[in-house]
Amino acid sequence: MTIDLPTLMLAASFVAAVSGAFLVFAWLQNRENKAPLWWAGANLALATGVPLISASGTDFGLPSTILGILLLNLSPALVWAAAVSSNRRAPSKTLVATGTTIWLVAFVTVLRLSSDAQMALNLAVISIYLLAAAAEFWVGNRGVQTRLPLIVLLLLHGAFFGIGAVLAATGHLESGYPPRSLSWLGLVHFETLAFVVGTAIFAVAMVKEQRELVQKTAARIDPLTGVANRRAFLEDAASLLERSLFDGRPFSVIVFDLDRFKAINDGHGHAIGDRVLEQFGATTLKILREPDLVGRLGGEEFAIALPDSPARSALVVAEGIRQAFAEACRGIETGTLRPTLSGGIAESGNHAGLTVDSILAVADKALYRAKAAGRDRIVMAGKDGEAPAAAPSPAPVTDVAAQAA
């Protein structure tokens, strides 16, 4: 049984053109994300290349056919570029052009368009780009669920073209026209149509999901310091505390306050104050582990949640941040300006009914003791929830730990 090849090719071309237009519109909504534009280019290249090849019939020597094949080679390269761009990286234009360049050089020098070797090279190039695009989506966009159907479609499409390359290289690829329905050249038109329809749906959905994820993330981040805002911190810290209590693991909180911050703003200006806040955010994000959480509670007050960390481990972390912050602020210091910070630490223990707010309240008491003792130091709350007396400034880790013993 033969198939109506022109109809299938026209359908694939139409779907590719429509989805390309939708992706251009999606890019216009958010021009910072270039992935939709790359993918639109891929679909439009396919939409243009397919009719050029279809119009040639069996004459593969026409310039229009050669242009059509070049566009079909370019299309998966642009899909790969879209995948790279979705990971917030700029795709290499050289790598995008490599596939079509290899095919064109091979065509005008050594091989012939109708040879099995030429077909094998063409299909292999397409397969490599598609599989590379699937790999890019796999390693990036972890929080985007619609990337998973795209990965499956790219793997199947890439594998199908890889099989075609092997068949062509071994001389088993049928070349009759029109092709039989169950031959590779017959099935490829059904498979390509399904791929175009599927990717048109999920590519647009992925762009929408990425935009929503960016907006959701921005709503949870303090724009000045880059750490979680108060609401996000309290929500996420509550989840971490609940998990720690369930597992019977320690959970500690550090409350930091930048010393004499109002004097910094009044005496040196809000621009300097903002730089100090930014420096604290950068310092903590550099030092903390993956499960740890830092948030800005308001003004110059910050909190850090440390799951799986007893108070003594939190003390080491707090001292590291205090010292690293002082060192990082040397570039900001002018005259009498020497930014420092004080901190209070509280541990949850393993008591049911504890909340993040109650642990923060205990850590706050320890922070007040650190302030009262001269600032620029860390104090741990005692086992009864009261902060012990702080050591004289400067307070080394060993002295502060001894207080809580």
* Sign of the torsion formed by the C-alpha atoms of 238, 244, 245 and 251: negative
pLDDT for position 58: 53
Angle at alpha carbon of residue 251, lines to 249 and 253, rounded to 5° = 175
Q: Are 99 and 129 in contact (CB under 8 A)?
A: yes
CA distance 31 to 211: 11
Q: Are 108 and 78 in contact (CB under 8 A)?
A: no
Q: Are 80 and 137 in contact (CB under 8 A)?
A: no
* Sign of the torsion formed by the C-alpha atoms of 199, 202, 205 and 206: negative
Sequence-ordered strand ranges (E) for 288-340? 293-298, 301-307
CA distance 397 to 394: 10
Q: Which two tokens stand for residue 46?
A: 């396919």
All structural domains of the chain: 5-218 (1.20.1070.10), 230-404 (3.30.70.270)
Q: Are 390 and 372 in contact (CB under 8 A)?
A: yes
pLDDT for position 333: 62
What is the layout of strands, in order, in the sheet containing 378-380? 293-298, 301-307, 251-258, 341-347, 378-380
CA distance 311 to 348: 9
CA distance 115 to 120: 9
Q: Which residues contact 222 (CB under 8 A, 6 or more apart)?
A: 228, 229, 281, 295, 296
CA distance 35 to 195: 18
Amino acid in position 40: A
Walk along the chain (405 residues) and give the pLDDT tens digit of each residue.
555 666 777 888 888 899 899 889 888 887 888 888 999 999 999 999 888 877 765 555 678 888 888 898 999 999 999 999 988 889 999 999 998 888 788 777 755 545 677 788 889 999 999 999 999 999 887 778 888 999 999 999 999 999 999 998 888 877 655 556 667 877 887 888 889 888 888 888 888 887 887 778 778 899 999 999 999 999 999 999 999 888 889 999 999 999 999 888 888 888 999 999 999 999 999 999 888 999 999 999 999 999 999 999 999 999 999 999 999 888 776 666 789 999 999 998 755 568 999 999 999 999 999 999 999 999 998 754 444 434 334 444 333 333 332
β-strands 293-298, 301-307 pairing: antiparallel
